[in-house]
Amino acid sequence: MSESTGSGPSDDRRSLLIITFSPLKSDARLLRQLRLLSPRYAVTTVGYGEAPDGDGIELAGHVRIPDSIVAWHKDRKQVIARRYQRAYDTAPVIKFLRAELTPGTWDLVLANDVETVPLAMTMGAQGVHADLHEYAPRQNEESWRWRLFIAPFNRWIVQRWVSKADSTSTVGAELAREYEREFGIKPDVVVNAAPYVDREPTPVGDPLRLVHSGLARRNRSLDVMIDAVRLAKRETTLDLYLMPNDPTYLAELKASAQDLPQVSFHEPVAPHELGDRLAQADLGIFVLPPLTFNYRFTLPNKFFDFVQARLGIIVGPSPEMAGLIELHGLGAVTEDFTAQSLAAALDGLSDEQVAGFKAASHAVAHELSAEEQIQGWAKAIDALDV
């Protein structure tokens, strides 16, 4: 059952409805929106799980999507027949929310990811901002089924509904350019920056301490990091903080590292604890082969987590991450996306270089913090409130 019937807030601030189809408490981008906007607007949230509270977040209401409703479930026959509006309207999550949300209740709406936008556009609000996150038409293009059935559906949403939003944003410059090239939409860029943390870089360790945090998904090729530790001539340790998205794959990774006592798998930690764990390392590592368009142009949370942990950063030649590393001197970019290339990059670093990378992260920690980078949302929402 929902925790709010959508009756809206009672205070005298302008009202803002924020919609997501993710669990709010574990969605870092969503939490940043709430910390930024809930002090300024009377915010009601829609999403899975309990409403976040504390840490600067105070909500006027929350509509909880039941866990039994799977957000991506749709009538396959309607999707195959390309009756996309019918497929959208009959999706269980949309039917549930249309019964819970009363159009005309909220002044403004912030819709997260493209699938929330058609719902947002029917809320009778004064203005709608669509935070598109990544490039939805190519989100899971490694799957032929996804390319055949879901990609056209997502393109329909962008063409039919996102194009009507009052403003849009996405997570990276290349993704914004692709939205403009294909659809004529010009999103602002709001990167997944982490909140500023006041800390000093730690001395470089011996052995060199590597760390990675994120999802345990097979298509992220996490074995590259483990193999690089095996191949590297210099002594290194690797600490992995992985969410068990694919338990079978995670078990395979652990099995592959049984001969490497310097590789440690840790249980996932809460977002507010992660920074202190990362800060115990020297280099944050993320080498992601460009299996999809979004992977090629990724600029993920963890990049900015590494900065706030005052780490040097080693990445593959992914343009968005590599560009920031080269601009600010934050670390090194491998020649390609292989374990051999990562091992060579590690072997080529001196302790003085690593210390310099950590110092560079310290120097730009304010500039690359959420407090600076997410103001694009405030400007977009404020522009609707006129």
Q: What pLDDT is attached to residue 64?
A: 98
With bands split at pLDDT 50, 70 and 90, how would you rate the model's confidence at 6? very low
pLDDT at 385 over 80: no
Between CA 222 and CA 250 the distance in angstroms is 9
Residue identified by tokens 């052995």 is 207
With bands split at pLDDT 50, 70 and 90, how would you rate the model's confidence at 7? very low
pLDDT at 39 over 90: yes
Torsion angle defined by CA atoms of residues 340, 341, 347 and 350, in that order, rounded to the nearest 10 degrees: -170
- Residue 94: φ, ψ to 5°: -75, -40
Q: Determine how many CB atoms are found less than 10 A away from the CB of residue 71.
A: 18
pLDDT digits (tens, 9 = 90+) for 302-330: 999 999 999 999 999 999 999 999 999 99
Using an 8 Å Cβ cutoff, are 55 and 35 in contact? Answer: yes
With bands split at pLDDT 50, 70 and 90, how would you rate the model's confidence at 71? very high
Q: How many CA atoms lie within 13 A of 151 on its CB side?
A: 15
Between CA 226 and CA 238 the distance in angstroms is 8
Going by C-alpha positions, the residue among 170, 201, 205, 197 that lies closest to residue 186 is 170
Using an 8 Å Cβ cutoff, are 284 and 291 in contact? Answer: no
Q: What pLDDT is attached to residue 5?
A: 41
Residues 68-93: what's their mean pLDDT? Answer: 95
Residues 213-224: what's their mean pLDDT? Answer: 93
With bands split at pLDDT 50, 70 and 90, how would you rate the model's confidence at 200? very high
This model's pTM is above 0.85: yes
> In sequence order, what E strands does the chain have?
15-23, 42-48, 61-65, 108-112, 127-131, 167-170, 188-189, 208-215, 236-243, 263-266, 283-286, 312-315, 331-333
Using an 8 Å Cβ cutoff, are 128 and 117 in contact? Answer: yes
For the ranges 3-17, 283-297, 332-346, which has the lowest average pLDDT? Answer: 3-17
Q: What pLDDT is attached to residue 53?
A: 84
Percent of the chain having pLDDT more than 90?
89
pLDDT at 85 over 70: yes
pLDDT digits (tens, 9 = 90+) for 127-166: 999 999 999 999 888 888 889 999 999 999 999 999 999 9
Report all structural domains of the chain as residue ranges with CATH numbers, in order of start: 15-192+372-384 (3.40.50.2000), 208-364 (3.40.50.2000)
pLDDT digits (tens, 9 = 90+) for 321-360: 999 999 999 999 999 999 999 999 999 999 999 999 999 9
> In sequence order, what E strands does 196-324 have?
208-215, 236-243, 263-266, 283-286, 312-315
pLDDT at 291 over 70: yes
Q: Is 126 exposed, middle or buried (0-12, 13-18, 19+ CB in 10 A)?
A: middle
Residues 115-121: what's their mean pLDDT? Answer: 98
Residues 44-58: what's their mean pLDDT? Answer: 92
